[in-house]
């Protein structure tokens, strides 16, 4: 591997901002008190947590008492969905989408095992650009619907759903609304004072330059709530467990920075993303964009290259220190390409050859140029190897009576 690292996998995780690390460090050394303690030594830690809570609330237009600290985005998602199901035990219907992150998708698919009774789950389809049909969404809601859980922005394609509108529709029907916003918070402006129908919102620290192991669940004041982790009185009895102080303080700083850098994210970073995307689509034939061109977070692009396979592309990129990810089957160890691309109806020839680049404010133009210099020849070399590229592989013999319905 090369010494150089060009990191464009920020939807997977981000670097902890140096400013964030700096404010975290004292809480690993001198300031080790327990915020629940009665003494001043612990009490000063409680003050730091309150300040962080305030900064996080500011970024999303919430009040600090609506912020509950959790261990990760997944815990936030589970807490929200179980809260709704406990609040309305007689309601047995959940509405979600086919492109959710596994944190929501797998939970909904397995929810019967945990609650011990049957639920109906409606997973809304998306179109070729990854967008939802709002009329279909509205029609899916019933009196039996306990909660709607819809991601704000998709991790693989960056496509943004019309969450404000969807939440308002749910509210008008008396249905709780949760959004997994881990890819949206810090990348696009969110104001829950305006988007006033969202009841639950999940945040993950490590997606916005804070550390791993810290998440937030926003719970709108007055929303029925049941704790997921039951224990001590922390978070006003809403989430047991001693606070992850350093990470909470770090997340506060990260949210403050994200607010300051929001404009840069949506101008400079977006321009870099667009340059990369256009450059790849222009210089590599038989390539295509996955996801809606404009309804997208500014840092993400998913591009597919026909007749080649994603893992092979990633490993070649890796030689040049370029970090990206793929929706190909082989990268995950599963045998089928990403459920997001399949739900969008991306043809197999492209789904297996998809590459996602996700940028951050730490990326610079030289890095985009570097990728544009390296990737076209990687694709060409792999295509020279591929029987589907100018080849005549019939794909109909041996173990290839393949008729995947996926």
Partner 1 sequence: MWNYTDKVKDHFLNPRNVGDIEDASGKGEVGSLACGDALTLTFKLDAEGRIEDAKFKTFGCASAIASSSALTEMIKGLTVEEAEKITNEDIAEYLGGLPKEKMHCSVMGREALEAAVANYKGVPIPMAQGELVCECFGVTDLEIRRAVLESNLKTVEEVTNFTKAGGGCENCHERIEELIMEVRKEARDEAKSEEAPKRLTNIQKIKMIEDALEREIRPALRKDGGDIELIDVDGDFVMVSLRGACVSCAASQTTLKEYVEKKLREQVLDSLIVEEVKT
Give the binding site for partner 1 (CB under 8 A): 307-312, 315-316, 319, 328-331, 333-337, 348-349, 352, 384-388, 391, 393-406
Residue nearer to partner 1 on the CB measure, 293 or 393: 393
Which of 85, 105, 261 minimizes the C-alpha distance to 180? 105
Residue nearer to partner 1 on the CB measure, 47 or 315: 315
CB–CB of 46/38 below 8 Å? no
The DSSP secondary structure of 137-164, one letter per residue, reads HHHH--TTEEEEE--SB-TTT-BBP-HH
Order the strands of the 300-305 sheet from edge to edge: 287-290, 300-305, 354-358
What is the spatial distance between Cα 130 and Cα 182, in angstroms, rounded to a whole number?
18
Residue nearer to partner 1 on the CB measure, 136 or 393: 393
Which of 325, 327, 339 minimizes the C-alpha distance to 108? 339
Least distance from partner 1 to the Cβ atom of residue 86, Å: 31
What is the spatial distance between Cα 186 and Cα 181, in angstroms, rounded to a whole number?
10
Least distance from partner 1 to the Cβ atom of residue 301, Å: 22
Q: Is the dihedral of CA 118, 230, 107, 301 positive or negative?
A: positive
Q: For residue 335, give every residue at least 6 positions away whose Cβ sits within 8 Å of its Cβ, in sequence order, or none.
A: 329
Least distance from partner 1 to the Cβ atom of residue 289, Å: 20
241: left (phi over 0), alpha (psi -120 to 50) or beta: left
Least distance from partner 1 to the Cβ atom of residue 346, Å: 12
Which of 301, 309, 393, 292 minimizes the C-alpha distance to 350? 309
Residue 330 is a catalytic residue: yes
Residue nearer to partner 1 on the CB measure, 193 or 405: 405
Least distance from partner 1 to the Cβ atom of residue 275, Å: 28
321: left (phi over 0), alpha (psi -120 to 50) or beta: left
What is the spatial distance between Cα 203 and Cα 55, in angstroms, rounded to a whole number?
13
Residue nearer to partner 1 on the CB measure, 293 or 319: 319
Catalytic residue among 72, 108, 255, 330: 330
Residue nearer to partner 1 on the CB measure, 38 or 396: 396
Least distance from partner 1 to the Cβ atom of residue 118, Å: 20
Q: Which residue numbers are catalytic?
A: 330
């Amino acid at each position: 591997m090369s010494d150089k690292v060009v990191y464009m996998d920020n939807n997977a995780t981000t670097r902890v901002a140096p400013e964030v690390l700096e404010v975290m460090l004292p809480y690993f050394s001198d300031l080790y008190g327990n915020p629940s303690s009665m003494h001043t030594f612990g009490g000063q830690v409680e003050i730091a947590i309150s300040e962080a809570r305030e900064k996080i609330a500011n970024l999303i237009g919430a009040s600090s008492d609506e912020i509950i600290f959790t261990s990760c985005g997944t815990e936030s998602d589970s807490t929200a969905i179980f809260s709704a199901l406990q609040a309305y035990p007689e309601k047995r219907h959940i509405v979600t989408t086919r492109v959710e992150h596994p944190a929501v998708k797998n939970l909904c698919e397995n929810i019967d095992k945990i609650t011990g009774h049957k639920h109906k789950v409606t997973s809304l389809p998306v179109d070729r650009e990854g967008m939802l049909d709002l009329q279909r969404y509205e029609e899916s809601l019933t009196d039996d619907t306990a909660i709607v859980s819809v991601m704000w922005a998709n991790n693989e394609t960056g496509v943004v759903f019309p969450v404000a509108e969807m939440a308002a529709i749910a509210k008008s029907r008396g249905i709780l609304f949760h959004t997994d916003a881990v890819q949206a918070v810090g990348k696009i402006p969110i104001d829950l004072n305006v988007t006033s129908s969202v009841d639950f919102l999940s945040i993950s620290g490590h997606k916005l330059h804070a550390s791993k192991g810290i998440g937030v669940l926003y719970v709108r004041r007055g929303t029925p709530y049941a704790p997921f982790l039951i224990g001590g009185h922390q978070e006003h009895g809403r989430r047991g467990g001693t606070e992850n102080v350093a990470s909470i303080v770090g997340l506060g700083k990260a949210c403050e920075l994200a607010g300051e850098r929001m404009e840069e994210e949506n101008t400079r970073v977006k321009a870099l993303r667009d340059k990369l995307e256009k450059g790849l689509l222009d210089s590599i034939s038989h390539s295509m964009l996955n996801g809606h061109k404009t309804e997208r977070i500014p840092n993400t692009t998913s591009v597919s290259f026909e007749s080649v396979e994603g893992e092979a592309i990633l490993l070649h990129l890796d030689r040049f220190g370029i970090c990206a990810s793929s929706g190909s089957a082989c990268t995950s160890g599963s045998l089928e390409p990403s459920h997001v691309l399949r739900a969008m109806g991306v043809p197999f020839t492209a789904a297996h050859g998809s590459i996602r680049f996700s940028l951050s404010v730490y990326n610079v133009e030289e890095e985009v140029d570097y990728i544009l210099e390296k990737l076209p020849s990687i694709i060409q070399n792999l295509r020279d190897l591929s029987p589907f590229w100018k080849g005549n592989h019939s794909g109909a013999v041996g173990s290839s009576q393949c008729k995947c319905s996926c």
